[in-house]
Amino acid sequence: MKEKIKNQFRQGDVLVERTQSIPANAAKQPAMERVILAHGEVTGHAHAIEGTATSWLSGGQAVAVRVNRPTKIVHQEHAPVPLRRGMYRVIRQREYAPESIRNVAD
């Protein structure tokens, strides 16, 4: 049976999904050994990609990442999420509160 390739991965309040494009307003960053996808507002922990990856930022947050070899997303309070080589869009989960729409605190 042929293995089904997953296109979306979630870890806590972060969703990454395979993509072919980079947002036009995103700024490319140098390749790094650890790329932070989202900082935890409550605990100070971070969702991060282990291993060399290139990220694109918009508004100070990662919005896309290119992984050149299999790796994983890690966080101190969640199980690791394996990623294949490829381009991914990074999406932060948001929530509504009467005073504002905001990122979910992890």
pLDDT score of 45: 85
Q: Which residue has the higher pLDDT, 106 or 12?
A: 12
pLDDT score of 3: 58
pLDDT tens by residue, 34-57:
999 988 766 778 999 998 899 999
pLDDT tens by residue, 84-102:
999 999 998 765 566 655 5
d(CA 55, CA 61): 10
Contact call for residues 20 and 87 (beta carbons, < 8 A) = yes
pTM comes to 0.80
